[in-house]
Amino acid sequence: MKPFQLTYTAENPGLLRDALGGWGISKRTLASVKYGGGQILVNGAEVTVRHALEKGDAVTVIFPNEEHGKGLSAEDGPLEIVYEDEALLIVEKPPMQNTIPSREHPFGSLANIVAKHFNDHGIPSTLHIATRLDRDTSGLVCIAKNRHIHHMISLQQQEKKMKRRYEALVHGHLEKEKFTITAPIGRKNASIIEREVREDGQFAETEVCLLQKIAGYSHVSLQLNTGRTHQIRVHLAHIGHPLVGDDLYGGKRNLIKRQALHCTELELIHPVTDERLFFHSSLNGDMQSLI
């Protein structure tokens, strides 16, 4: 399996270590390259990070091959690929499928199926799922094919350069057409699953836009500005409009047997080419029928 590698051009003289940091390569990634079997080349010759660069030098970072975690088995299954290149994999996750295995659902997760895809195509990477979705939630998922690529995407999320938009059906009629929910989220006492808005929680922000009102319900569009566990579910329940089907946070399941939430749009800057990428996903059939 051919290892993943990136090549950069030095724009100014200086230490290689400083240039690598400027290109977003973290100290942790450098350690994995140094001790995990990778290489750093300047104009084709292997060097250390203390090497003095000249303007125009070609710097190639060869990343060590990665292995799947021992607890992750590769499984056959349907995989709807939206986009794929040497660095990224964007897929559609159906409802009622775990993103990663759990104690209750150890098999059939998206991660299990992607592991098989990686094996079949000789992709030397472990699973770096950058945007997880809950089991019930459907839609777009972003997967990095390398630890460094995952790091770069995480930086985009922290800097709000990555945009994730969802559509949902919620109980009740929203009073405002556009507003932002800013409320910290933390784990609920005595629960390993449930979250709640609490003063000592992590900062969380969700933008809400009303699309239409339907017979006691609201069809909404949502944009995540942070990525807390259960963020959309907790925030909507907090303002008294829980997701339809989300019985964990006050929604009812008389109309649909899962939370009515779908990741419709994903926008990010490609971590290698700097190209802005935009992906769109139509609602699943159950949500389309419901709306």
* Active site amino acids: 134
Collapsing DSSP states into helix, strand and coil, what is residue 234? helix
d(CA 244, CA 60): 50
Tell me the residue type at 35: Y
d(CA 98, CA 244): 19
C-alpha closest to that of 272 among 149, 145, 171, 92: 149
Yes or no: say if 235 and 226 are a contact pair by the CB < 8 Å rule.
no
Six-digit token pair at 208? Answer: 């809400």
**Cβ neighbours of residue 213 under 8 Å, at least 6 residues apart?**
173, 174, 219
DSSP assignment string, 219-230 = EEEEEESS--TT
Yes or no: say if 135 and 97 are a contact pair by the CB < 8 Å rule.
yes
C-alpha closest to that of 210 among 184, 247, 237, 236: 236
Angle CA 259–180–256, to nearest 5: 10
Six-digit token pair at 115? Answer: 């592991």
d(CA 120, CA 140): 22
Q: Looking at the DSSP assignment, which residues form a beta bridge with residue 111?
A: none
C-alpha closest to that of 269 among 165, 161, 144: 161
